[in-house]
């Protein structure tokens, strides 16, 4: 599998409300594979590949966690976070400020030579140091300028290490599956905006499309690192995509989700059916935005979500592509599945 597209997606900046660079990469990759490309007034991309069969919406979100400049104080900047981040992974990091030109900045840290700084700072309390004099900084940066973690992408023998795998890996899975599949559905792909600040893009989508089936493709948190209690170790790297039955905001269509799991078994695709009460995806919004829609969520396990660099294993990405391809080519195998209580 060629991961060049994933690299381009991960390296592009795209905080909520400013997703244009990621959108451009995705459109260039998908346009030859679809019949029509649209964009709504919120910025959501809609790509249509017309066909017979059920109307299916595949969704992955464009935006990444990041920051906006909220204050300029001499040679320093203040920011607010867009999306949930642990301040500890931000403190002392290098960031990129997208002003009149691309600027490097360092999150101010307390010198250990002065003794311990015992205060845990909120992101809003931190300062960014650009190494510029005040007059120059004021010319190059304005309130509202986006700020991101630096672009990073490295392909190892087994894994991808990159910025913003949440949810550039979901976009990549859709692109790869469409490139490989001969779909037996009437397909709409949504590359949605502003997921990280409350699923805002998704809430506007389903009402316009009226799909029969929604499948959301995500990068989900893998809780399989040393020190995590066994009771919290749900989704694991190396075990294939997560097929989610529930999370903090979502109860999946049980028949569809288990039908996808059954399809994975038949095709010998590694997968894991997961129940969790944490996190959330666009699935919860798309499921009920236009009344009710059969909805499932398929996710690639990713370590270190919402941090400067995340890790996903190639075998998990490739198994997710294989499962989505199998569904697009055999939709009724999953859609006809029915679960029942034993008698």
Q: Is the peptide bond between 167 and the residue preceding it cis, with omega within 30 degrees of 0? A: yes
What is the model's pLDDT at position 300? 98
- Which CATH fold topology does 4-64+163-335 show? Aminopeptidase (3.40.630)
Burial class (CB in 10 A: 0-12, 13-18, 19+), 291: exposed
Helix/strand/coil for 318: helix
Scan for tokens 């809430």, then name that residue.
Answer: 203
| Radius of gyration over every alpha carbon of the chain, rounded to an integer in angstroms | 21
Number of helices followed by number of strands (H, E) in the chain: 10, 17
> For 4-53, how does the pLDDT look when each residue is reduced to its tens digit (9 = 90+)?
999 999 999 999 999 999 999 999 999 999 999 999 999 999 999 999 99
CB 338 within 8 A of CB 294: no
What is the model's pLDDT at position 2? 86
What is the model's pLDDT at position 115? 66
| Active-site position among 11, 64, 195, 196 | 195
What is the model's pLDDT at position 112? 64
What is the model's pLDDT at position 232? 81
User: Taking the domains of the chain in order of start, what are their residue ranges?
Assistant: 4-64+163-335, 66-148
> For 228-254, how does the pLDDT look when each residue is reduced to its tens digit (9 = 90+)?
887 788 899 999 999 999 999 999 999
Alpha helices per DSSP H over the chain: 4-11, 20-30, 87-90, 134-140, 165-180, 200-209, 254-266, 283-286, 314-329, 331-335
195 tagged catalytic: yes
What is the model's pLDDT at position 228? 86
Which residue positions in the chain have pLDDT lower than 50? none
Question: Under CATH, which number does the domain 66-148 receive?
Answer: 2.40.30.40
């Amino acid at each position: 599998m060629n991961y060049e597209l994933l690299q381009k997606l991960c390296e592009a900046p795209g905080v909520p409300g400013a997703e244009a660079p990621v959108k451009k990469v995705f459109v260039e990759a998908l346009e030859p594979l679809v019949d029509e490309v649209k964009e709504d007034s919120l910025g959501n991309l809609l790509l249509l590949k017309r066909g017979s069969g059920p109307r299916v919406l595949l969704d992955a979100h464009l935006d990444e966690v990041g920051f906006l400049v909220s204050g300029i104080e001499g040679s320093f900047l203040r920011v607010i976070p867009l999306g949930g981040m642990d301040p500890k992974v931000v403190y002392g990091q290098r960031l990129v400020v997208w002003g009149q030109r691309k600027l490097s900045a360092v999150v101010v840290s307390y010198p250990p030579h002065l003794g311990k700084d015992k205060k845990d700072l909120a992101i809003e309390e931190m300062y960014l140091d650009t190494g510029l004099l005040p007059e120059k900084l004021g010319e190059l940066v304005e309130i509202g300028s986006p700020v991101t973690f630096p672009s990073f992408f490295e392909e190892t023998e087994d894994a991808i290490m990159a910025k913003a795998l949440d949810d550039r890996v979901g976009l990549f899975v859709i692109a790869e599956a469409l490139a490989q599949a001969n779909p037996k559905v009437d397909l709409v792909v949504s590359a949605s905006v502003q997921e990280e600040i409350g699923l805002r893009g998704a809430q506007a989508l389903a009402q316009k499309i009226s799909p029969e089936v929604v499948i959301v493709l995500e990068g989900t948190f893998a809780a399989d690192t040393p020190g995590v209690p066994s009771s919290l170790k749900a989704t694991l790297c190396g075990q294939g995509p997560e097929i989610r039955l529930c999370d903090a905001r979502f109860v999946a269509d049980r028949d569809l989700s288990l039908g996808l799991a059954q399809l994975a078994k038949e095709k010998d695709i590694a997968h894991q059916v997961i129940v969790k009460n944490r996190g959330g995806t666009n699935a919860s919004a798309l499921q009920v935005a236009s009344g009710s829609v059969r909805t499932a969520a398929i996710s690639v396990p990713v370590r270190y979500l919402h941090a400067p660099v995340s890790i996903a294993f190639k075998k998990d990405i490739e198994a997710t592509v294989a499962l989505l391809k199998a569904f697009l080519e055999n939709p009724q195998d999953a859609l006809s599945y029915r679960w029942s209580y034993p008698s």
